[in-house]
Chain A
Amino acid sequence: MLATNKLSKNSVKAMFSGSVSVSGYAETPLSRARVDKGEKRLTIEEYYAHALRKLLDNTGLRLEDLRGQGVGVTGSAYPRAEIWSAEVVQNLGLEPKFLARADHGGANGAALVVVGALAIYSGYVDHFLVLGADTPMNIAGEGALTWRYELDYLMPVGMMGPNSMAAMIMRRQMDQYGYKPEHYGSISVSQRFNAGKNPNAYFKTPLKLEEYLQSPLISDPLRMLDICPFVNGGFAILLSKTELARKVTDRPVKLLGFGEWHNQDAAKTSPDITTTGLKPAVQQALSLAGVKQREIGLFNAYDDYTPVVLMQLEDAGFCEKGGAGKFLEENDVTYRGALPVNTGGGLLSYGQAGMAGGLHHIVEAVIQLRGEAGERQVKTPAKALVTALGALAHGGSFINNYALVLGGD
């Protein structure tokens, strides 16, 4: 047998933790492209440009400082050239030594952070720029291209994309664990509360549980307010070798650990759809970081749908499988609570910038750990766990599963 697990649990652990830091970040203003309401309708190229410009302004770096370093670009689900990262760097005038692109859907941002961290840790580059942007609100008509298995075995029988797949997970959770609509609604309400204190979130109007319960059923039991709405937007994150991070910023945030796992139970033909593949990813991330579960003071969980947040509270170890409903009854998960979840509003209330959406969870953790979160600042900035999920599986839950542990300087 190849000693994969041995390698990840021992060799990397001894040396990785703390050797890579987040030295800069930027997020653009978001838009729903409602020109009739005075909103901007920018192109994806403009979002990339604005995210990079803002990162340079925030860090005081010049474009040429990034020459010969690493760059990672997220893909877009909407019709773009298949060769995409090349066009992005050409547009922006970037001249990298190392260029990566992710196609991990919601996990694009986390995937590029891991690629960048490994590139820096290996000594190949000193800095790695993660760029993500998407403009799903500009797309009319048929929308994203999708998987062969969805085209052949889901769409012909009347499945309606990710909404209907998330609804399958939710129905099974409700029947297997007795979860009630109120449990899911509590996530929507609490994240909207957090978003109300985040100037950059798109959906800030306070939300009552009654409004959640009255929101229309889309793919029953999934309601409108269980689903993250699209926004147009862009993000940038700069990773640096920790020794160099303080030359970029006086508030670096260490990437303490990371983990990922894909296509869990690959040979199971009838898996448990109420479980993600996050458990091994979280275990590796905590193990690399040398951080205990109880030290996590902020959990930014991937939240394209509310049932997905419940699954992750369980799979990341905050409660037992089937215990998320009770956990939510007993714990405040707003930024004021014992376990703040998605303090920036999450995709549900901040908005999902298409295939770049998952960068929100990472950027928000960095903002909190730098102490820059203003009214929504978590009182004791502690270690943060960020999770990311991508690719809904045929008959399962998610194929791509990521965990990042951030904290300390």
Chain B
Amino acid sequence: MSEYKRPLPQVTDYTKPFWEAALRGELVVQRCKSCGLFIWYPRPSCPRCGSIDLEWVKSKGLGTVYSYTVIRRVVANSPDFQRDIPFVVAEVDLDEGVRLYARLEVKPEEARTGMRVRVEFENVTPDIALYRFKPS
């Protein structure tokens, strides 16, 4: 396997459970134990009530495309994506109520706002599996 040349996330103590779950093929999101808010992206405290008592819960991995873009030019800090062009990145609203950015594995002309999608994972390094979505 050749060296992975794309940007990778920094894994910290509070984001580690997410990346560990991803390696198992599970999508987990944070939930505030105090007020019940589902939270994405991972944070050390609840943005609704300020509690630091958060838990990780398994998402069903189903969602709806809220918006999307077809990347046709790369920027300087992501040159390795050039060979994928054109490709689709979407904002996906998970059924749990949070919005995340992810690759949408469809042809550019097939992408639609409102599409129902399901998560899948790709192991890109021994430590990181990236989530992406396909039509469900």
Contacts and interface: CB of A to CB of B under 8 A. Distances in A.
A388 to B, nearest CB: 24
A395 B43 CA distance: 14
B77 to A, nearest CB: 5
Interface residues of B, number: 47
A220 B72 CA distance: 7
A158 B37 contact: no
A172 interface: yes
A171 B74 CA distance: 19
Interface in B15-73: 15, 37-41, 47-48, 66-73
A36 interface: no
A63 interface: no
A210 interface: no
Contacts of A220: 69-72, 86, 108
B113 A154 contact: no
Interface centre among B7, B69, B74, B108 (most CB of A within 10 A): B69
B67 A160 contact: no
B9 A153 contact: yes
B2 to A, nearest CB: 17
B10 A155 contact: no
Q: How large is the interface on A (under 10, 10 to 19, 20 to 34, 35 or more residues)?
A: 35 or more
Interface in B78-136: 78, 81, 84, 86-87, 89, 91, 93, 97-103, 108, 113-114, 128, 130-132
A64 interface: no
Nearest to B113: A175
Given A152-B41, A157-B130, A270-B66, A219 B9 contact: no
A51 interface: no
Interface string A139-163: 0011100001101111111111101
A23 B91 CA distance: 46
A65 to B, nearest CB: 43
Given A164-B89, A168-B68, A219-B72, 4 more contacts: A156-B6, A156-B8, A158-B6, A394-B101
Interface of B: 6-10, 15, 37-41, 47-48, 66-78, 81, 84, 86-87, 89, 91, 93, 97-103, 108, 113-114, 128, 130-132
13 contacts: A141-B76, A149-B41, A152-B9, A153-B100, A156-B128, A163-B75, A167-B69, A168-B69, A171-B113, A172-B67, A172-B113, A267-B37, A394-B41
